[in-house]
Amino acid sequence: MATNTPQPGDGTEERLRIELEDAASRKWWARILYTLGSQYGRTQLRFVGKAEDGRRLYTGDTFPGPPLNPTPPEEAWAPGLQASLGRLRQEIAGDGWAETSRGAQPWELTFSRRRVS
């Protein structure tokens, strides 16, 4: 029996993963401005949705937090984290993506959808 459900690796499905990034890391001058203008050396973090080939398809709202390090941020000391992630997930779902897996952190999400021609 034939199925129309996309199968991983069959070329009909595309994948997207959410990553956390330091928004200031994109431009050297932005890092200096964020750090100098913030209290206690905080920076601006954001979530991005990236395709398998590394293209940025989605960018979430920024929120203040400590520079990225091995300790993942939490809402208590990175206020706005949950709201930013929630809005980004809504935007992604609105474009037809379905969540397919979760990692250890709330933002470690993978989505898939039928490839748009």
Q: What is the pLDDT of residue 31?
A: 56
List C-alpha distances in Å: 21 to 42, 61, 67, 114.
13, 11, 9, 27
Mind listing the pLDDT tens digit for each residue in 88-107? 999 999 999 999 999 999 99
Mind listing the pLDDT tens digit for each residue in 9-43? 556 899 999 999 988 776 655 556 655 555 556 78
Mind listing the pLDDT tens digit for each residue in 36-81? 555 556 788 999 999 999 999 999 999 988 888 888 899 998 999 9
Contact call for residues 81 and 61 (beta carbons, < 8 A): no
Q: What are phi and psi of 96, to 5 degrees?
A: 95, 10
**pLDDT confidence tier of residue 6, bands split at 50, 70 and 90:** very low
Contact call for residues 33 and 11 (beta carbons, < 8 A): no
pTM exceeds cut of 0.75: yes
Nearest to 21 by CA among 76, 61, 75, 77: 61
